[in-house]
């Protein structure tokens, strides 16, 4: 939905999406540190009004680290809200509200609203960009809730930049992983020198903002792999993120992290050399 405004100076974007799970399962996933770390990025949440919320984007975020946000509403399992100062330079704080509404059949509607209070339109593009960034994460959330709700989770992430335009780099990346031409519902298995990923394709996205393939994994462990690329400044960024679940998730993530970092570094060096 497009950005909305009112006479009070409030500017906001809002999203609604349906997820599997009871309200308690959905609350654990969207309002706690372990839950958000299972499908978004490593997160810590002090579970009370006035507590801190911190997102660790690591190498995924090229900007300077932002200060922690502040929890402004904590009403389990229905409503969670927080405010983030310094999220984008001198922009006013962005306020986020998440509301969970139960539906029949162990499903819930999650409504997420991001708001700024300012008369200026300087940050409208950034505010609207939230709508484009969240849907991929919501797909990981759905898989987590459907198959792995409440299980231990760990993330392995590798990323790097290249001067090729996104379509060219994406074509090279998917070819190197034997994912070129893959369709939703197909079983895929990485080839060549890449670390092994095997599973079913859940999502394919290709547009001017990003390219992405999402795989529900059987190997190297139960979880989700997201292979993607997006333009960042005058470069294209390539990335591989593994969301791993179960009792062995941390051990598997620790083993996969250096493998993917090394492989992606060698892939990008080869791409620079035209190999």
| CATH value at residue 121 | 3.30.530.20
pLDDT in tens, 166-197: 999 999 999 999 999 999 999 999 978 899 99
157 with 132, same domain: the answer is no
H or E segment and range at residue 239: strand 235-245
Report the share of the chain in percent with pLDDT over 70: 93
Q: What is the pTM of this model?
A: 0.90
**Cα–Cα dist 242/245, whole Å:** 10
48 with 113, same domain: the answer is yes
pLDDT in tens, 132-171: 778 899 999 999 999 999 999 999 999 999 999 999 999 9
Out of 102, 120, 147, pick the residue that ends a domain: 147
pLDDT in tens, 37-56: 999 999 999 999 999 999 98
Structure tokens at 141: 């959330």
Out of 147, 169, 191, pick the residue that ends a domain: 147
93 with 128, same domain: the answer is yes
116 with 184, same domain: the answer is no
pLDDT of the residue at 52: 97
* Averaged pLDDT for residues 239-255: 97
109 with 215, same domain: the answer is no
**How many separate domains does the chain show?**
2
141 with 171, same domain: the answer is no
Among candidate residues 114, 13, 31, the one with its CA nearest the CA of residue 79: 31
61 with 79, same domain: the answer is yes
Full domain range(s) for residue 191: 153-272
101 with 163, same domain: the answer is no
14 with 71, same domain: the answer is yes
Q: What is the DSSP string of 138-200?
A: HHHHHHHHHH-TT--EEEEEEEEEESS-HHHHHHHHHHHTT-TT--TT-EEE--TTSPP-EEE
Among candidate residues 150, 171, 124, the one with its CA nearest the CA of residue 22: 150
209 with 245, same domain: the answer is yes
With a cut of 70, say whether residue 238 has pLDDT above it: yes
Report the share of the chain in percent with pLDDT over 90: 71
Average pLDDT, the chain: 90
Out of 147, 169, 188, pick the residue that ends a domain: 147
142 with 189, same domain: the answer is no
**Cα–Cα dist 41/59, whole Å:** 11
198 with 95, same domain: the answer is no
């Amino acid at each position: 939905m497009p950005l909305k405004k009112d006479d009070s100076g409030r500017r906001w974007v809002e999203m609604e999406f349906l997820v599997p799970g009871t309200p308690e399962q959905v609350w654990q996933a969207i309002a706690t540190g372990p839950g958000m770390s299972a499908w978004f990025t490593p997160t810590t949440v002090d579970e009370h009004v006035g507590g801190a919320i911190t997102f660790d984007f690591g190498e995924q975020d090229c900007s300077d680290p932002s200060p922690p946000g502040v929890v402004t509403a904590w009403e389990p399992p229905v409503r969670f809200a927080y405010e983030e100062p310094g999220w984008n330079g001198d922009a006013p704080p962005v306020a986020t509200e998440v509301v969970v509404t139960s539906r029949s059949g162990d499903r819930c509607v999650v409504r997420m609203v991001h708001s700024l209070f300012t008369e200026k339109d300087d940050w409208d593009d950034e505010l609207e960009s939230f709508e484009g960034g969240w849907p991929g994460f919501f797909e990981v959330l759905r898989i987590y809730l459907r198959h792995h709700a409440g299980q231990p989770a760990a993330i392995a992430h590798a990323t790097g930049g290249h001067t090729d335009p996104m379509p060219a780099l994406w074509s090279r990346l998917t070819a190197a992983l034997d994912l070129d031409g893959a369709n939703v519902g197909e079983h895929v298995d990485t080839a060549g020198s890449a670390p092994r990923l095997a599973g079913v394709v859940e999502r394919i996205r290709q547009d001017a903002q990003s390219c992405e393939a999402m795989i529900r994994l059987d190997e190297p462990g139960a979880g989700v792999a997201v292979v993607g690329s997006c333009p960042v400044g005058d470069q294209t960024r390539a990335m591989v993120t593994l969301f791993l679940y179960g009792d062995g998730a941390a051990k598997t993530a620790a083993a996969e992290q250096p493998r993917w970092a090394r492989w992606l570094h060698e892939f990008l060096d080869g791409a620079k050399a035209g190999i």
